Amino acid sequence: MKRVFITGATGFVGQHLVRRSSELGYALSAGVRDKARAASKLPAGIAVFPFDLDGDIDGAALEDCSCVIHLAAQVHLKKPTAQELDAYSTRNAAATAALAEAAARQGVRRFVFLSSIKVNGEQTYDRPIRHDDVPAPLDAYGRSKLQAEQALAEIASRAGMDFVVIRSPLVYGAGVKANFLALLRWVHKGIPLPLSGLSNKRSLVAVGNLVDLLLRCVEHPDASNQVFLAADGEDLSTSELLRRIGEALRRPARLFPVRVDVLERVARLIGKADEARRLCGSLQVDASRTRRVLDWSPPIAVDEELQNTADHFLRSLRT
């Protein structure tokens, strides 16, 4: 039986990945920051090891593992200090390199790294992002993910270990946090939003689809030493996304029109320019090569995962 070591196992994506991996019969080891918390987050029978992006790697966690799936990361900080900006590089790039070195020493065959589409930039205009586009990260998080990719590729090449990089856009699904959770709350509370009629297009990826892709990359021979982009394949405007969230929540999204330039001007005045860009701008991902090379298609439709997301959110309000 193949053993897989998963970092960030108690996180949003990690919990879904562990659950699905267990269902498929993988032997699992989990790297977590808090072992006590892991007991309530992970299925029984999984070997749990401490894993901290600032600490050393316990070599025992990688024994007999054929693959590492590295999810753990320092995620976005809204207004990072200079010290926190340095932490991106340390916790994302340096920690990935250290884990890759440890994996190579233990004879791990393949290292699958969850990166970010932010490696390619923040917005698209005339065409979607493609896998072979020149990286153009605009913030510290995106730069740290690119640094991690580059370090992994160098270490894997030197050690003869396969690597796979998956660049993902915004992930949604049951238990989602951060910006997507804010959208759920806005719609559920019936807050009027000046976002009607937006014609932008954004690629998303359902957590079930991302998990399926990660597991496809564990063993597929053509995944070796490749960079893949993840996406559902159905791009949505912010207006359409909010309307579909409302349908899933059984509460209509209360949208009204305001010109995009007005929204952006007001957002800059109140220090919310980045948030306005994400809501009003486009960020499209061309994942056709991923589908072709890996003979993969997303198993979950957008509306199905949105319903899963909404149902989990509503259950959380009752507990």
For the annotated catalytic residues, the residue numbers are 141
Measured distance between the N- and C-terminal CA atoms of the chain, rounded to whole angstroms: 38
Which distant-in-sequence residues (6+ apart) come within 8 Å of 317 by Cβ?
A: 188
Q: Among residues 218, 204, 173, which one has the least CA distance to residue 11?
A: 173
Gyration radius (Cα) of the chain, Å: 20
In angstroms, rounded to a whole number, what is the distance separating the alpha carbons of residues 10 and 16? 9
- Residues 290 and 33: their CA atoms lie apart, in Å, by 32
C-alpha 140/C-alpha 215 separation (Å) is: 28
